[in-house]
Structure 1
Amino acid sequence: MADQPRRPRTLNDARSEAEAAFKRATTKVADAVPKTTAVPGVREQVTLRIDQDVLEHFQAGGPGWQDRINAALRKAAGK
């Protein structure tokens, strides 16, 4: 008897209707979210995993290694 639910579930029961209403209210619409544009000169802090040898290559040049990595990424991105 434990295998049988206490009452049969139907598609139009109150729980299903509540779940459907929740999904409609919380689903993001891609068009409704404004696309942000990059502001020149403003940088965003991120965490990035880089191979040790690549990191050592940029750090070997001394201070400014983060700027050099940024420049290399901009060049690779065609910016």
Structure 2
Amino acid sequence: MTAKSAVTKNTLVDPDDAPELTDAWFEKADLMQGSKLVRRGRPAGQTKALQTVRFDLDVLAAFKATGKGWQTRMNEALREWLKEHPMKHV
């Protein structure tokens, strides 16, 4: 004997209540291919560069130990250091 699946509630929402999808909205949106993230949306002007950098293992472990978002926190720590120690361009 096969069991019947539970009836799901209708969650249909009136499409007239949806926000307008502007170019600005799409610029901030994450681009996905199925469940795979292809590009993370960011506010205009805030770009990031993929770079290979070497850190001491203890420094890297300390940031990773803070959990999800550790790379953002590391970036913020470096940004704060730069504010306190302005770089002289040669």
TM-score, length-scaled by structure 2: 0.42
Bigger CA radius of gyration: 1
TM-score, length-scaled by structure 1: 0.48
Between Structure 1 and Structure 2, the one with more strand by share is 2
Between Structure 1 and Structure 2, the one with more helix by share is 1
